[in-house]
A and B are shown apart, each in its own frame.
Chain A
Amino acid sequence: MTKELGSTLAKSVRRAKAKQPQKNTLDTQQDSVSEKSNFELPLPPIPSRRVWPD
């Protein structure tokens, strides 16, 4: 029964994947980001500050 349920679950995930739009809202082009979006590209890491002993 578990096997059957697992296979039904798996089938439902495949169906959900197939229904996904080809392109979602994550396009990084500026004009495709919604007005409310706070999405920002990551900044390069800041090099750590050296701490000198007193």
Chain B
Amino acid sequence: MLTQVFSVANQKGGTGKTTLSMNLAAGLSQRGRTLIIDADPQGSAGQWAGLSSDERPFPVSVISISSNLGREVSRMRQDYQYLVIDCPPTLETGVAQSAMSVSDKIFVPVLPSPVDLWASVRLADAIEQIKIYNTKLKAYILVNQLEPRNAMSKGMAQALAEFDIPALQSGLRRRAVYRSSALEGMSVYCMGKRGQSAAQEMELLIEEILAS
């Protein structure tokens, strides 16, 4: 089994790392056995899944790991087709770097705001250094919480061209259902009509990710 390891990382908080990790994993679980690794000490991924009901459990298991990440990921490669690592919002502890060093692809969610763009500059540098010894690593920026009519969202393409990391064509729009799905311990895939548009954009994103 050729396992793919995906990390969702950004040292800035509030960019939607956990929301992306959970929904990405939910979508991937429809394609193959998937596990979420919660590498963030805040434990948001675990809390999210913990809110699901016994009748409708979250479709992907979440395990919390903050040390020996490399060893654990190597071990889990045997059992899963997809591993999604939700990284902590810091580069100071080395956990995010450990995750990136064992990943095939990194996704950096960025909000359409100047502060988020500036904060991502340092992560882009960190990724370049990890690539020196994880030569297969691919990294992509993902614009999250897009508001198509907002001028800042429209201006993002020009700013993203300044990064050495390419941006994915698919972005995720700002939708209330992403927040409400967390509250119900579900993914947007299980939110019925309310989650339909979000699930559709997640599917487009996953197809692009798997083809990249």
Which of A1-54 touch B at CB < 8 Å?
Answer: 1-3, 5-10, 12-14, 16-17, 20, 24-26, 28, 33-34, 36-46, 48-49
Does A42 contact B125, Cβ atoms closer than 8 Å?
no
B136 to chain A, nearest CB (A): 11
Instruction: Point out the residues of chain B lying under 8 angstroms from A8, CB to CB.
Output: 155
Does B70 contact A14, Cβ atoms closer than 8 Å?
no
Interface string of B68-104 (1 = CB under 8 A from A): 1111001101100000000000011111011001100
Does B121 contact A16, Cβ atoms closer than 8 Å?
yes
> A30 to B98, alpha carbons, bound, how many Å?
14
> A26 to B122, alpha carbons, bound, how many Å?
11
Does A1 contact B125, Cβ atoms closer than 8 Å?
no
B63 in contact (CB, < 8 A): no
Interface size on B, residues (CB 8 A): 42
Assuming the contacts A36-B92, A41-B101, asked whether A10 and B151 have C-beta atoms less than 8 A apart, the reply is no
Looking across the interface, which residue of chain B has its beta carbon closest to that of A1?
Answer: B151
> A5 to B162, alpha carbons, bound, how many Å?
14
B53 in contact (CB, < 8 A): no
B61 in contact (CB, < 8 A): no
Assuming the contacts A36-B93, A40-B69, asked whether A2 and B102 have C-beta atoms less than 8 A apart, the reply is no
Does A2 contact B155, Cβ atoms closer than 8 Å?
yes
B204 in contact (CB, < 8 A): no
Q: A40-B68, A45-B77 are in contact. List 19 more A-B contacts (CB 8 A).
A: A2-B151, A2-B154, A3-B155, A6-B156, A7-B158, A8-B155, A13-B118, A14-B162, A24-B125, A25-B91, A26-B91, A36-B92, A37-B93, A38-B66, A38-B98, A40-B94, A42-B102, A44-B74, A46-B77
